[in-house]
Structure 1
Amino acid sequence: MLPRFEIVGRRRPVDLVSPGSALVDAATAGAVEWATPHPAPYAAVVATGPPTSGTLTLSLTGGDVRLSGEYDASRGAVGLTVRAGGATTTHASRRSGRATAPVDGVALTLTGTHLTVLTHEAGTWLARGRVNLAERCDTRDEVWLASLVTAVDGPVERLTAGGFGQLGLRDVRLVTREDGSPVRDGDDLLLSATSAGPGFFDTAHTSLWRLSPALDLAHVSDVFFRRPDRPGVFGDHATHVVRRDDDWLVATSTWGDFDRRRPGASVAITLATTRADLLAGRHVLDTRPLAVPTTGLRSVGVWDPHLVRIGDTWHVGFVSAPKFFRFHPALAAGPSLDELTLVGADTGRIATEGTTLVRLDDGWRVLASDGRDGRRGQRRGYPVYDLALAEVGGLDAPYPTNIPWPTLVREDDGWLMVGFNGASYGGRLVGYGSHGDVVLMRTSPADRIGIPAGHD
């Protein structure tokens, strides 16, 4: 179906403060504070060159809520203090709450409802304490977010504060036009991705990136979402961004507050339309439901939207789950995004997601990605379907860890594939969810110089 791919590079941008979002960048020698309003509950305070003795405190305060992280340089001890609802609590990890190497940076991050304190040791950020604030205060409230004040108490060489960036990237997709063709910023491709936080679903958010011809990644913007059914701002992700003539369509998955333990837990797809400049800054978008049909399917959730208009018909690839976590690819189509019917679903698969439409030399195809938990013969591969969702082949490409989405773009002399892996970052407290490296593949040189597509 396509020539074979080989890995040509890996990228791992780690930024606690999202590039371009800094609200504070200063040297300090004592107790100082700054007004730092945030559009979403994704904030970071980073101190480089912390003191070698005494205690350094970093904090975010709004109203009667004060969230702080403390580093006792004399003992290497790290912890958190939460003042909210008239009560003050302290939180320290027995196994991870002490630095094990010289510390040259300390950070406090808010990602969704999670507060984390990290230390920078031997070139790596490590989570040393983490607490879920969901039962203590409403971190998604926009009035509270607008009132936030960042403070430092203790001398540091540099204090930087702004929006939270990422520990890793996953769910990488091309930003496309309605017809599925890639959108470029000059010579660079545009990508959307899930910016991983120090945890899983509810610490991540959506970001946009540029990928240069030399395969260098550069951050563009961060995107957050309001929902029609509840107040607040959410870090929803697993997103596809579509450029139209004068606006953008942004389809995303409501992972931002997912908790499978919650009664009736589900994931849905929402759609935003905006004329904002998504190629810079931080944005909060209003959404409405994108009701993909699951007629005849048992479905507790849908996610991973991918939108392409072929002729006069919209096609929407997505994932449907009969239960958490068993999931399979599905495809819907219709004359508009409000008039979709189910075309097909591969219900025989149980660990397949990243449904993606792409135009190959022999016509439109639907790609997906098989995780390692699939059935025998359906593990660690990239199935290829036609537009009736009948399987017609597979991609010949390395399969990294996790479930890398099959994002393909045609180049002058072959194809580029942008995936990701499950490599973690941030230490044991972060757990699953900080993945991953962006894994870049190209059709091999031998294939590019003379083996036609479709030849084995």
Structure 2
Amino acid sequence: MTDIDRRDVLRALTALGVTGVTASLFGGTAEAAGEDPLDLKFSITRQFRPFDLIAPKFVQVDTTARAGALVETGVRPKAPYGTVTVEVLDAGAPVVAGLAGHGVSVLGTYDPAAGQAAIEITTAAGTTVVKTAPADLRAPFGFAVVVNENAVTVLADHGTGWRPLLTARDEVRARIDLRDPAVLGKLGYAYGRRGPARLGKVRAGYFGQAGVRDPHVVQYADGRPYIRHGKLYLTMTNAGLGFFQQAHWAVWTLDLADPAKLDQVATLFFARDGVVLGDHAGQIVVDDDRFVLLMSSWGDFAFTGVHVRHTVTRENVLSGVHVLPTEQLALPTTVSSWDPALTKIDGRWHIAFVESPAQQPAFVFHPALAAAPRGADYDHGLTLLGADRSVTQTEGTILQRVGGRWYLFASDGNAREYPVYDLRLRKLGTLNAPYGTNIPHPMLVRIGDRWWLPTFDGTQYAEDVLGYGGHGDFILMQSS
């Protein structure tokens, strides 16, 4: 028998004006036949790289440098994700920047006489230079020190963009734990000059991003996107200067009239196990007067497992800086999990997620779907509806209704495609959309009469110095 492409059949039926019962033979109602995810065709309309050492709306210090070997501003970040930038007008002596207070400091330094950049830690046990790298910086230049979790990175800019000189994490953590609120609470942004150097503008504030990934539209419980004043709200993972622990979570807005305008409006951190972390890759659901937040425990990932966490709050998490306590979500799985996607479908909470039986020697992961009993809250009595264990590199689970029917979308890194499932995790086909590098997530959202698909790729930032983790570009696709 000759193979028939279901898409061609549906297009032919539509052209002939066939509707109703006839169309339902091919997968649904006339509405579904007119708008089936397998019939959508996407193309890339925007691609750009958000990059900010300090998130523009989260600058905490903006001043002209004062004289001093170490000037302590007294301004503190709520989480160990901050940046200090210093304009060096004349590098006649060493310059320093970082965090300091109460006799403790975590500093990046540049010594022009030695031709060396360094990371220097001072605690009650004394001062230790934990790492150095050769550097030849000719004034004027920008000097920056970034803290992402316990990773400290020194960067310079001669007018062509920030480039890292060196970074250290394990060496820093061996002497201090910046995730500990008791430690971080004593440290503020600091800078200084150890001799006749001349400094200009100093700025400090919450770290922005080296790239973005894992976009998930902020939505209401029933799946409708959260849009205010012509702007679509979405969460994204802000790539840090290094591996997963260096990333953190943020809320962004996308201007629907000008999709090139992507603005960070909130910064989110999470308190658990006595420390403050940048857990990410999750979702925010607006449910009446509460915000339901779900996220993945990448903030302390050490190849010993990942799980989905959650919290409920009435704080406006769509604006400002927040540190929220969380707890593990009781999913119906005995293995690791991440990428939660929550929606109330026909009065019953459904949550898609990724199951991962292994993260070493290689990652193995696949999509799954669970649901709570009718009338129960999203975190009570979850039972597994299905999982696709035939795939081993599939994540980015998204729940979305298209043409009156609900689907689970995901991203298969091996096949380089976006599989489309029903709510029993039966594969129906794949999205007709470009598949880039890494494992881009298929975040479908209906805007007007078109479907948009914000996603990302695997383009790295300074991988030669920072290693894997500083990706990716923001990519926006639209349906034709």
Query: Does TM, scored on the shorter chain, surpass 0.5?
Result: yes
What is the distance in 1 between the residues matched to 2:89 and 2:406? 55
Deviation at residue 274 of structure 1 after TM alignment: 1.1
Q: Counterparts in 2 of 1:108-147, with a 5 A limit?
A: 108-132=145-169, 133-147=172-186
Aligned residues: 426
* CA distance 1:64–1:416, change in 2 (3 Å): same
* CA distance 1:3–1:306, change in 2 (3 Å): same
Deviation at residue 237 of structure 1 after TM alignment: 0.5
What is the distance in 1 between the residues matched to 2:470 and 2:115? 25
Residue type of the alignment partner of 2:465 = L
Task: Assess if the C-alpha contact under 8 Å between 2:90 and 2:139 holds in 1.
Answer: no
SS in 2 for 1:428: helix
**Bigger radius of gyration:** 2
Counterpart in the other structure of 1:318: 353
2:467 counterpart of 1:431: yes
Task: Assess if the C-alpha contact under 8 Å between 2:217 and 2:443 holds in 1.
Answer: yes
Counterpart in the other structure of 1:68: 107
Unaligned runs of 5+ in 1: 445-456
Deviations 1:216-267 (A, max 9, x none): 201111001112xx1111110111011122121110011101111xxxx111
Deviations 1:132-157 (A, max 9, x none): 12222121121322221222213322
Task: Assess if the C-alpha contact under 8 Å between 2:105 and 2:187 holds in 1.
Answer: no
Counterpart in the other structure of 1:148: 187
Counterpart in the other structure of 2:383: 341
What is the distance in 2 between the residues matched to 1:361 and 1:76? 63
Deviation at residue 334 of structure 1 after TM alignment: 1.3
Structure number having the greater strand percentage:
1
Deviations 1:122-180 (A, max 9, x none): 52222212111222212112132222122221332211111111111111110111111
Counterpart in the other structure of 1:107: 144
Counterpart in the other structure of 1:239: 282
Unaligned runs of 5+ in 2: 1-37
In the alignment, which of 36, 39, 56 is matched to residue 75 of structure 2?
36
Residue type of the alignment partner of 1:304 = D
Task: Assess if the C-alpha contact under 8 Å between 1:98 and 1:128 holds in 2.
Answer: yes
Task: Assess if the C-alpha contact under 8 Å between 1:85 and 1:137 holds in 2.
Answer: no
SS in 1 for 2:276: strand
Counterpart in the other structure of 1:169: 212
* CA distance 1:20–1:240, change in 2 (3 Å): same
In the alignment, which of 33, 36, 42 is matched to residue 5 of structure 1?
42
2:97 counterpart of 1:58: yes
Counterpart in the other structure of 1:27: 64
Task: Assess if the C-alpha contact under 8 Å between 1:102 and 1:122 holds in 2.
Answer: no
Deviations 1:250-303 (A, max 9, x none): 10011101111xxxx111111111111223211011112211112xxx62x100
What is the distance in 2 between the residues matched to 1:102 and 1:348? 57
Task: Assess if the C-alpha contact under 8 Å between 1:125 and 1:426 holds in 2.
Answer: no
* CA distance 1:36–1:322, change in 2 (3 Å): same
Task: Assess if the C-alpha contact under 8 Å between 1:190 and 1:208 holds in 2.
Answer: yes
Task: Assess if the C-alpha contact under 8 Å between 2:352 and 2:397 holds in 1.
Answer: yes
What is the distance in 2 between the residues matched to 1:145 and 1:81? 16
What is the distance in 1 between the residues matched to 2:162 and 2:467? 14
Deviation at residue 329 of structure 1 after TM alignment: 0.6
Counterpart in the other structure of 1:450: none
Counterpart in the other structure of 2:427: 391
SS in 2 for 1:267: coil
Counterpart in the other structure of 2:392: 350
Deviations 1:289-341 (A, max 9, x none): 211112xxx62x10000100112211101001111111111111112322100
What is the distance in 1 between the residues matched to 2:471 and 2:355? 22
TM-score by length of 2: 0.85
Counterpart in the other structure of 1:449: none
What is the distance in 1 between the residues matched to 2:338 and 2:137? 40
Counterpart in the other structure of 1:406: 442
Task: Assess if the C-alpha contact under 8 Å between 1:141 and 1:233 holds in 2.
Answer: yes
Residue type of the alignment partner of 1:6 = S
Counterpart in the other structure of 1:251: 294
Deviations 1:89-136 (A, max 9, x none): 214455xx4257876211111111111111124522222121112222
Task: Assess if the C-alpha contact under 8 Å between 1:178 and 1:244 holds in 2.
Answer: yes
* CA distance 1:175–1:50, change in 2 (3 Å): farther
Computed over aligned residues only, the root mean square deviation of the Cα atoms, in angstroms, reads 1.8
Counterpart in the other structure of 1:218: 263
TM-score by length of 1: 0.89
